[in-house]
Amino acid sequence: GAVVSQHPSRVICKSGTSVKIECRSLDFQATTMFWYRQFPKQSLMLMATSNEGSKATYEQGVEKDKFLINHASLTLSTLTVTSAHPEDSSFYICSATYRDTFSNQPQHFGDGTRLSIL
């Protein structure tokens, strides 16, 4: 159980292109989804927290106009990197969780999207 699907797994595109990444919870309703970025040999950096039906909460230093997040349903969140540039090249990973009585549920991660901007 608790499977999170992320698509696409890899994107290579030209500078200035906007790229959309999808994150789906396949067998549970994800009340909260998270978007992370990871540079080589570094730890995960949380970009934003997304609750279904409400605006995403961005971490300090993350440009909300650059990284558009939509969480329109309990099973789908999207991250759009607008007008991507080479410095946006990174490994983007989503995770999902759901609320339970004890607030103990872990985050379950998608397989990640490797974004390369030429």
Residue 60: count other Cβ atoms within 10 Å of its Cβ.
4
Burial class (CB in 10 A: 0-12, 13-18, 19+), 41: exposed
CB nearer other proteins, residue 15 or residue 73: 73
> Minimum CB separation from other proteins for residue 45, in Å?
9
> Minimum CB separation from other proteins for residue 79, in Å?
14
The binding site for other proteins (CB under 8 A) comprises: 6, 32, 34, 42-44, 46, 49, 91, 93, 97, 99, 102-112
- Given its phi and psi angles, is residue 64 left (phi above 0), alpha (psi -120 to 50 degrees) or beta? alpha
CB nearer other proteins, residue 43 or residue 54: 43
